[in-house]
Amino acid sequence: QYEILFCINDESDPSIMLVNRLMEKYPNVDAKVFIGGMKVGVNPKINNMQLGYEAAKYDLFLVSDSGIRMKEDTLLDMVFSMKEDTGLVHQMPFTCDGKGFPAILEKVYFGTAHARIYLSADFFRINCPTGMSALMRKKPLDEVGGIKAFAQYLAEDFFFAKSFTDRGWKLRISSQPAWQNSGHCDIAGFRNRVTRWGKLRFAMVPHTIFFEPLSECFFLGIFVAWSANFLFSWDFFVLYLVHVLVWFLLDWILLCIIQNGSLPFSKGDFVVAWMIRESSALYLYLSALFDPTIRWRSGNYRLKWGGIAEEIKPKL
């Protein structure tokens, strides 16, 4: 038993026609459309969802971005993961199979570097949920003012989860990943998104500025090889190459496990995409660190320490 609440920000969005056709085709499905949203803060996603949230009538609600592909049993899987002590069920971001090298690069990133950190954070009960696909209890959120109470943040997903854990609720990860299926991939857009997420992390959890580089293969390998050379007089370059090779093989295994099927590209494509991702990590880190301005959707934002955002108005 469920309802579908379509929240569409722009009344000229062509998806409105598609949604209306779907509602006509399946009249027995409980569905409504909300257009225009309500301005309750700087976060455009919260503004867009506010009307739908106010109309939601069930105890659980699922935030699902338009670029997420839902399988037939995804909602069921997430609800089954919602135990009595659970406040939020999230999905690890991954990507659907796509054409072209940018799609390969995205899949390699989300199936290796991002998955490694995301699953490790979840294992150690560190706040890591992303808001692209998250099932939450409505009553605990209503107790703190609903989703509009989080409209001052751009990373509303982080603060949703923090609100639950601060009051003793647990977070759980679904057995299925969030299948991103935006339909358009380009390297510039991919890098902008990764950089934007880095800026949000640095503002919300400043100590990640110091520890995040140590999660990268090439950077960490330098310290590993230097330490072993200093302590045991082992050959620096041999050990560094062994470190990179082992890391590379473990990333390949992790990607295959998450894909849970045949990969849509060759091993050669994986090598190239993996090398580009790993070698560009430091550049993206520095870009996020020294340019705090965030460009998201149609707006520009400046972050304060703690994650509070303010919109940068264009100069007249």
Burial of 52 (0-12, 13-18, 19+ CB in 10 A): buried
CA distances from 300 to 9, 81, 190, 295 (A): 17, 36, 18, 5
- How does strand 178-180 pair with strand 93-95? parallel
Structure tokens at 190: 């991919």
**Catalytic residue (one of 10, 30, 59, 157):** 157
Give the integer Cα–Cα distance in Å for 270 and 261.
15
157 is catalytic: yes
Residue 128 half-sphere exposure, CB side, CA atoms within 13 Å?
19
Residue with tokens 């038993």: 1
Compute the CA torsion angle 169, 125, 289, 150 (nearest 10 deg): -10
Give the integer Cα–Cα distance in Å for 154 and 150.
8
Sheet with 299-303: strands ordered across: 293-296, 299-303, 309-311
**Single-letter residue type at 261:** G
Structure tokens at 152: 């001052």
Decide: helix, strand or coil at residue 311: strand
What crossing angle do the helices spanning 267-290 and 101-111 adopt, rounded to 10°? 70
Taking residue 244's Cβ as centre, other Cβ atoms within 10 Å add up to: 16
Give catalytic residues, as residue numbers.
Answer: 157
